[in-house]
Amino acid sequence: MNVHQDLSILQLIINASAVVQVVMTLLAAVSFMSWYYIFMKWFAVRQARSQTVDFERDFWSGGDLNTLYNSAVNDRHHAGSMERIFESGFREFAKLRGQRNLDPKDIIDGSRRAMRATYQREMDALESHLAFLASVGSVSPYVGLFGTVWGIMHAFRGLSNVGQATLASVAPGIAEALVATAIGLFAAIPAVLAYNRFSHDIDRQATRLESFMEEFSNILQRQMR
């Protein structure tokens, strides 16, 4: 027996049973998709953090709010989450302030509601595909284990027709089955690490945006006096 040929990873995948091959193919596809979302989410979170830093610097530099608002409106497609929250809050503030017989508290509450609605949309966009990564991280090992169990069952069923079972006869079947678990772990581990990292970064971004909404509401409230 040529051990290197029979027990190479490629040969194990080719010689695996049909069910195990389906499991391997499914896990490979899921792993590819998770890596795609990992890179996409990494760029999105990085860009959101950079845009937030830039807008905070402009906002707290003491510039005119009208100027900042016009800049946000004119460059809406390249604006970050915080800038869009500012735009929606200031637009609602200016619209309600122009109406007569409105209580200042109602104006501030309207501005806050507008900012909160934009905040929810921004967070929903940032959190997109995180559920997929969480599912891959939690389910992939079990799918791989299913392939392993099925492969081992298939290997032992094949031994029923062999007069004397040896390590050489049982090793390829067990190795084929274990490859499914290995692929499942390969898909799950990066997905879990990425999910935990992105969840932490998005939570920090959410805290930053919520703090800005409170501070901006206080600024608008002072302008009503």
pLDDT value at position 135?
A: 93
Task: Write down the residue that tokens 């930053």 correspond to.
Answer: 208
Cα–Cα distance for residue pair 110/83, rounded to 1 Å = 18
C-beta of residue 185 within 8 angstroms of C-beta of residue 141 = yes
Q: Residue 75 gets which letter from DSSP?
A: T
Domain that holds residue 108: 3-223
Considering its fold, how many domains does the chain have in total? 1
pLDDT value at position 163?
A: 56
Query: In angstroms, what is the C-alpha Rg of the chain?
Result: 28
pLDDT value at position 170?
A: 64
Q: Which residues of 68-96 are buried (b: 16+ CB within 10 A; e: fewer)?
A: bbebbeeeeeebbbbbbbbbbbbebbeeb
For the four alpha carbons of 74, 76, 82 and 88, in that order, the dihedral sign comes to positive
Cα–Cα distance for residue pair 122/87, rounded to 1 Å = 13
Burial class (CB in 10 A: 0-12, 13-18, 19+), 136: buried
Return the axis-axis angle of helices 81-97 and 18-59, rounded to nearest 10°. 50
pLDDT in tens, the chain (225 residues): 444 445 566 666 666 677 778 888 899 999 999 999 999 999 999 999 999 999 999 888 877 888 888 888 887 777 889 999 999 999 999 898 878 777 888 889 999 999 999 999 999 999 999 999 999 999 999 998 888 888 777 777 766 666 565 556 666 667 777 888 888 999 999 999 999 999 999 999 999 999 999 999 999 888 776
Cα–Cα distance for residue pair 105/210, rounded to 1 Å = 19
pLDDT value at position 4?
A: 44
pLDDT value at position 89?
A: 93
pTM of structure: 0.81
